[in-house]
Amino acid sequence: KDFDIEKLERKNIYRMPDDLFENIQEKVMNEVKANKKAPKVLFIYARGTGVMMVAGANTSMDAIINLSGGKNAAQGFTEYKPYTTESLVAANPDVILMFDFGFKSLGGAESILKMPGVSLTNAGKNKRIVEMDGNLLTGFSIRLPQAIQQLNAKW
């Protein structure tokens, strides 16, 4: 079945990405810029203690952290690297960010705070463990403004 391009254009389906971008530029990013906290955030992907990875540069988590006004605490590498106590302490994040399922797989905030090295970081000292819906954070869909705002509010 062929698409009726004229009908789609009348519905402004092609404007949606532009409208989303303008909304992010004008509304969301202005709110984020007004909040000048810019914490160092370390994203840890976890599936229990057996699988734990840290997001470096050029990852979707690096992008969402930066868009929401934070700074990725994992510097000097791209992609994902295995989590180590040494890398955690060296990064010294202000906030540890996790997907909700990873947070639960590790037993919640109290268990995460007891993991080796966490208590030596600013995040551990201040009990700043943030969990969010993984689909919301990585979808980069029409809910991107919502993801940016929700994450920024947690800083």
Q: Supply the pTM of this predicted model.
A: 0.81
Confidence label for 142 from pLDDT (cuts 50, 70 and 90) = confident
- Which pair of structure tokens corresponds to residue 90? 């060296």
Please give the CATH number for the structural domain made up of 5-153: 3.40.50.1980
Give the pLDDT confidence score for residue 37 in this predicted structure: 75
pLDDT, tens digit, for every residue of 29-75?
677 666 667 899 999 999 887 889 999 999 999 999 998 889 999 98
- Mean predicted lDDT score pLDDT of the chain: 85
Give the pLDDT confidence score for residue 145 in this predicted structure: 83
Please report, for the chain, the start and end positions of each structural domain, with discontinuous segments joined by +. Answer: 5-153
Looking at residue 80, its amino acid is Y
Residue 104 burial class via C-beta count within 10 angstroms: exposed 0-12, middle 13-18, buried 19 and up: middle
Q: Residue with structure tokens 């969301």?
A: 28
